[in-house]
Chain A
Amino acid sequence: MTSDASAVTGSAAPGVSPASRVPLVRIEELKVYFPIRDGLIRDRHVGDVRAVDDVTLEVAPGETLGLVGESGCGKSTTGRAIIRLTEPTAGRVIFDGKDITKIKGTELRAVRRRVQMIFQDPYASLDPRMTAGAIISEPLEIHSIGSTADRRARVHDLLSTVGLNPDYASRYPHEFSGGQRQRIGVARALALEPDLIVADEPISALDVSIQAQIINLLERLQGEMGLTFLFIAHDLSVVRHISDRIAVMYLGRVVETALSRDLNTKPLHPYTVALLSAIPVPDPVVESKRRRIILKGDVPSPANPPSGCRFHTRCWLRERLGNPERCTTEDPILRILDTRHDVACHFAEEVESSTERALATGKPVPTASTAPNAPAVMVGAGDAVARPRAIPPTAPPA
């Protein structure tokens, strides 16, 4: 099977297993609670929205970690907590070996130079009263880098890097399209040559044909500049494409982390399996053969998470196993089940042999797929027999 190094695609680091390097960022037992206040005269603290409830993750330099989950799972809050845009309620954020959880002032500003963010809404993340050039040079101004002429040159370079005509630096955001605005956002994030970029749903608000452009842009930049990405999104197909490793979150917790290839072929958490089976595939033949796992009910409120395992109220595996007590009383912890594959489920072993997982993922991919021109085998849903894919890998661009 492929080694860890080649699984970390786009990495600028030499072929050293990322697991052995010091992680660029590590969060330990992170909790972010938002207090709920109620009361007539005085606001009493009546409860908390537990957006992030004990999350431990790390990202290696040069890696792209995908953080995926549905609304309310806490992925965006996690991203923001790393940059300290939201203050952690508990836990630690360790950046390049240093604990940055509580630092302030100039210390924090120094760290901010190295961690940047790309936002979801290209229409709201740019100040409508500033020109594109001003927006991109703002980080340089804030940290007093270079003279005015230097900054102008840098803005020029950055605009070309992200694929925009540098002459447009004097235009205002409303004159650009959504995709172009997002590129401006990327240029802004790159201005300080950060080590880590947290991308919070960077393409969800864009048209499908533009999404692919931005994805490719980000991948290219990562390759050229050796960036590390934390890619937060709800669309697992996109996350899988762009990430080396994926962490799946549910209701404030990480339920599974794995290499993206493994997550798709051998998911071990019942939620991941359900998630995979719910994603529609643009192939009617495949779709007609699929049997979806339909989760019952809605996501519980993060203010009042279920006892024990948070997923137990909707878990198909639990139902299959006859509703074991353990799921309601004991909170599963993330445990290592395979190479770089952690799962938080008491009965993850059952998942492996379940028909649900087979239905959702089909057979795993044989090693022949690493040769660029060999016909890849489809990891199709619902097929017991793997069949050649309609679209073979594209030849490298001329």
Chain B
Amino acid sequence: MVSKKNFLIKNCLVSFSTAFILLLRNSFLLIFYPYKTMRKIAIETDFWQIFLIFFFIFIYFKFIYFLRDNSYPASFTFFIFLFNFFIMIFFFYFLVRFFGQKPKLLPFVFTFSYSLLPTFFWFISVSFLYLLLPPPRTVSFLGQFFSIFFITYSLSLLLWKVILFYLALRFSTKLDFYRIIYMITLFILWFIPYSVLLYYLKIFRVPFI
């Protein structure tokens, strides 16, 4: 009985460490070779990687709970994030079925989870910058210099996010460029009012998606 339990723990540890190494590898490769890497991620089946991504995001929500004033509990924010994430996935999944395709759900989960990396990097860096250089910025030379740097950094991550988001849709739906743009437009049409609602409810100032 004990040996079986030990075997299970060992198995879990091995799976966990392998997933962690794969997550690091894929994250680095998404920076340098987003197309090739996302293509590989679309055929991935290791759920530990998804678990790790969500675990790090949960840790992030725990961390900002102590930074933000009048904040909701981290578990609640994380639940809302999960809700947004899966609503988005199911929206695209059923939209593709509307186009007459029969996609698998798994590539959506994997590719969209990895497309959260730019979002995660941006949010974590902004929260650290909030501690190091608390806002508001001034119009002094250093303030303006920092503003240019910050906007450049944010825009770069935003464009990386757009690339990964497009590739996630491309490899999970296997649709062409026009249909993907059409799907993204439909998504934006309901997601912007929804983000405004989340903003007014003080859950997310910038949507974590």
- A, B bound: no
Enumerate chain B interface residues (CB-CB to A < 8 A). Answer: none
